Structure 1
Amino acid sequence: MTTITTFGPQPRDVFERIPAYKPGRRATGVEIAPLASNESHHEPLPSVLEAIAEEALRINRYPDAAVTNLHAKLAEKFGVGADQVVTGPGSIGVLQQLLETYCAPGDEVVFAWRSFEAYPLLVEIAGGQPVMVPLRADESHDLDAIAASITDRTRIVLLCTPNNPTGVSLSHHDVVRFLDTVPERVLVVIDEAYVEYETSEDAVDSLALIAARLNVLALRTFSKAYGLAGLRVGYAISTPEIIASVRKAVLTFSVNSLAQRAAIASLDADHELAARAAEIAGERDRVVAALADTDWGVLPSQANFVWIRASGERNAALSQAFDDAGILTRVFPEDGIRVTLADAATNDRVIAVLRNTVGE
């Protein structure tokens, strides 16, 4: 009699090692403020809902696998060729396509840490090696240290600006200086999921960088300022050569027909969505100013959230205070707490918690 010593098919070793992605907590009551995920609190625009309703009548048909109309619309908006655009199920889906395209087993991907928590997971799943470079004390990217971490095995550098979860953005001047030190064989991905909230005078001009260089790609999404988080559509802009390669890794029909139509309608309503983003940026600056004299050291942010650096007991105390106030936040126990911004009344609840909780 044969003894079975395994428990069926076994996953690759990497899946025994990496933790699962931890989604933001969801609201369960009307008094709960769902500020754990960086999504828009605004309801979809009427024009976008109308477009979705029209497209819903055709969901018995496959979506356009080439995403032709949305690619053309994005190309028109940004003044690039349609062959310079690729889409996917959220910017995280496009990033996965990038990693599959450029990373062979053992290749390195360099990025600041803490940054978007999906980075190390996606890199390892693709067979790559994450190289995490600590942020500076002011929560900014240490571009000199990132440049020094590039080796012969480095294939991609990820720059998240504004950075998630800290909200600190890179300057165009600093990125240009950094790119001058990076070999052209290394793809530099500028992750701009929160770019619509950026108000700094020297914000990174990724489109200018793409026009001037062979190894830069901008990664963006409709999930944040455009309010389409539930439909999952993101995109990348780069050179035609890079985009042609990435398109080969795209899962067929990965951007569904409702997402394509809603994204086009959102681009048509750009001025309305820009006003919403400006409203959030104004609330963000108000919240930061209101907390300037508290114990929590809330730094200026360029995204739709604020970051409180806190660990250990300090982190646990503040997390509990938010929970007690019915505010769901994104807690990183060893690093800090990220709080998404919403309407003024909800943001006032956040201010009250931080002003009434002593950070010792």
Structure 2
Amino acid sequence: MEPGATLLNSTLQQTDASVSLLWTLTLVPLSGETPRKGPATMPLFGKSHKNPADIVRTLKENMAILVKQDKKTDKASEEVSKCLVAMKEILYGTGDKEPHTETVAQLAQELYNSGLLISLVENLQVIDFEGKKDVCQIFNNILRRQIGTRSPTVEYFSSHQEVLFVLQKGYETPGSALNCGIMLRECIRHEPLAKVVLHSEHFQDFFNYVEMETFDIASDAFATFKDLLTRHKVLVAEYLEQNYDAIFDQYEKLLHSENYVTKRQSLKLLGELLLDRHNFTVMTRYISKPENLKLMMNLLRDKSPNIQFEAFHVFKVFVANPNKTQPIIDILLKNQTKLIDFLSNFQKDRSDDEQFNDEKTYLVKQIRDLKKPAS
């Protein structure tokens, strides 16, 4: 829409009542003229003004043209853009005009009934750059919509779960990966939808997405991965307990990653998971395994100080555990002298970090106090 047309539309919106009144009155004739009447109504937006049903129908028709890649794609792309902007205006309002609740409800219902919300996600790659951003805003607004304590779109997606997996698979399409990530994280805010993703076979794909070569996509995928494992504490604790071997077998590969960012983020997240009280059972199991302790001891000597630091926060859980398994005690005793010397000189440049130095002192004492069993 041209800037002048936008200004005109805005003015017409503000003067709706007065315009309608004037145009329904009989116009006063000039001398010799036959009296004329104005039209009974005047569209606020001229020919471009459509109700939600019209917008959804027009958008669906033009999306079909874009998907088929017909000759009329330029015109269809323009129409798609107009429809998306019109939807945003309904959902977010325009200028100082607030959204109209009934119109928003009508638009939401049209999107559900037509399946257009899912279709937009499935075919996001054929929409232009600005249009992709509009789809994200429309999707997230509709998803947040509540009626009392109900979240209608969450209920809709719970029975149309394919949209969640289409969004997740979006990480495989560079042109729309980040847009899909934004929408998927919005879905994950809602526990019923997060549960669907966690308990699906597709969750394992995240271990590949966070290793992708494109930095922006890998980072975005990791942000979603982290949300899934930290947002809903009770749900995640139960999930990790039930799927411990499958998850941690995959997770260990991230700790060996050649990608520095992936390795560091994974190590940091592991520390957060183990120290979360909801994950006590998972933590107890993880820190009872000698191979996990050996891995952390190796990472303490990584060439990157940041990797060392994150490894320290996992290593300390093994040492501070008052109920160490015998294999863990054996490893610590076998390396007792070396560990005491190493920790005493570990990252001395962090002298201003009081908590870190207190923890380091505590670990040295714990290791020094370990006693070999009497023979």
TM class, shorter-length: under 0.3
Question: Which has the larger share of strand?
Answer: 1
Length-normalised TM-score, structure 2 = 0.22
RCO higher in structure (CA 8 A, sep ≥6): 1
Higher Cα Rg, which structure: 2
Length-normalised TM-score, structure 1 = 0.23
Question: Which has the larger share of helix?
Answer: 2
